[in-house]
Amino acid sequence: MSRLDYVIVLAAGEGTRMKSTMPKVLHSIAGRSLLGHVLAAVDDLSPIEVRVVIGAGRESVQEHLAEISPQAIPIFQEHRGGTGHAVQLALAGVEGAGTVLVVYGDTPLLSSESLSQLIAAHNEGGFAATVLTAEHPEPTGYGRIIREDNDDLLRIIEERDASIIEREIVEINSGVYVFDLAKLRGAIGRLSEGNAQGELYITDVVEILRTDGDRVVPILTPDFIEILGVNDRVQLAECAALMRDQINDSLMRAGVTMIDPTTTWIDITAQIASDVIIYPGTAISGATKIATGALIGPRTTLIDCEVGSRARVLESYCIGATIGEGASVGPFTYLRAGSVLRTNSRVGSFVEMKNSTLGEGSKVPHLSYVGNAAIGVGTNIGAGTIFANYDGVNKHDTEVGDHVRIGSDTVLVAPVSIGDGAYTAAGSVITEDVPPGAIGVGRAKQRNVLEWVLRKRPGTKSADAARASTKEGKPTS
């Protein structure tokens, strides 16, 4: 009985209270735009067709819609004449019988489960219209529900048109409606602009249907949180926090440990297996996948990353990286797009890595930059190593073999290859290939200029210390 034929999403509003150059429905929480959350909820209902009424920011909204829901049909509302006018436009060319769901594009907490139950109740009752309502502890700004003695819906009155007594009502209109298509189509053309805003209200369809003798029923949702809309940045943050709590609650009940859920932000698009431990201050975004047994955080950001089982990512920022099973990252590591860490490898403190692969069991422990490199198995990259991959115009690759030892403070000037089992001497600048088993030395012979400090820095503490350490105030040879 939850059959659904059409969905109309109202997403044409200016969103002036957001004070943003971006259309309101494109603002994001938990990895999806507000519109994206609504479309994800209705998509689970398997409607025959989805029509989205757009207006403000037409080009950007239409482009976003094509990306996230290419099957949805955009309907442009050039003149914002109210919700009733928007539905009129959306119904153009729609014929026959069926069930129509109308929702707003700025209600990201709506669940497909609640919508499915609403549609089922509507279809089973054979009503002309069904309205989702909620009892809100602070109903200011919402339309109020006026019920008949038999609990059917008498009318919906917008707050700006409500009397003082009517504004005391706590049952509010969610803006979610289910209509019999034929009844809606017959009533929508009879709307008038006789209200404070001079607009056509979809809520007035209720009164028209009742006047026609049709039955309209309000269905009260037990959780008013689902129907919360977003009109400004404060409400955006409130909805984000509520969704964070929902996501975290679901994950913890599925076996994920969160030390502090209030400081853990996880996108709805992320996938996290059981027995993952997440420490405070962590953000997990995009299409990130984390396998069982991994430890994440504290103070870690993962964006579009894949983390293998038993991996550890501590106080690091990673985007577009693949972190293998048992690998260790951090603290203070920056993994950029294309970074691949194989099983049991390690990238340590103050290391930046981009478009590079680190082989199984290999290490870049600290203070290094690794770019456009392929590093083999069991290799150690000494502290302060720089993979100089950019010549000012093009990027070049570096290949480092298996069981290589790169000495501290080495600069590998790409393109260059270091063979299996090779070494580089600390402080070297390597510009030529190093054969397997060889040691590459790229530094000048050291020379000591005696008495330089005494001559060039007289009177300094360094000169005093040097003089005091020699016999009779003269340096030894």
Residue with tokens 């069982």: 292
What is the DSSP code string of 29-98?
A: ETTEEHHHHHHHHHHTT--SEEEEEEBTBHHHHHHHHHHH-TTSEEEE-SS---HHHHHHHHTTT--S--
Burial grade of 144 (CB within 10 A; 0-12, 13-18, 19 or more): buried
C-alpha 422/C-alpha 416 separation (Å) is 13
Bridge partner list, 132: 176, 219
What is the DSSP code string of 13-40?
A: ---GGG--SS-GGG-EETTEEHHHHHHH
Q: Which two tokens stand for residue 470?
A: 């020699």
Residue 1: CB atoms within 10 A of its CB come to: 11
Q: Which two tokens stand for residue 70?
A: 């290419």
Quick one: which H or E segment has residue 252?
A: helix 233-253
DSSP 390: B
C-alpha 271/C-alpha 254 separation (Å) is 11
Buried b (16+ CB within 10 A) or exposed e, 32-67: bbbbbbbbbbbbebebeebbbbbbbbeeebeebbee
**From 79, 366, 396, 403, active-site residue:** 366
Amino acid (one-letter) located at 424: T
Whether residue 331 is preceded by a cis peptide bond, meaning omega within 30 degrees of 0, is yes
Nearest CA to 123 out of 148, 94, 100 is that of 100
Could you confirm whether 64 is annotated as catalytic? no
Half-sphere exposure of 225 (CA within 13 A, CB side): 12
Residue 116: CB atoms within 10 A of its CB come to: 17
C-alpha 372/C-alpha 351 separation (Å) is 14
The answer to whether residues 408 and 385 touch, using CB atoms and an 8 Å cutoff, is: yes
The answer to whether residues 126 and 178 touch, using CB atoms and an 8 Å cutoff, is: no
Bridge partner list, 340: 322, 357
Would strands 386-388 and 411-413 be described as parallel, antiparallel, or unpaired?
parallel
C-alpha 164/C-alpha 119 separation (Å) is 33
Catalytic residues: 366
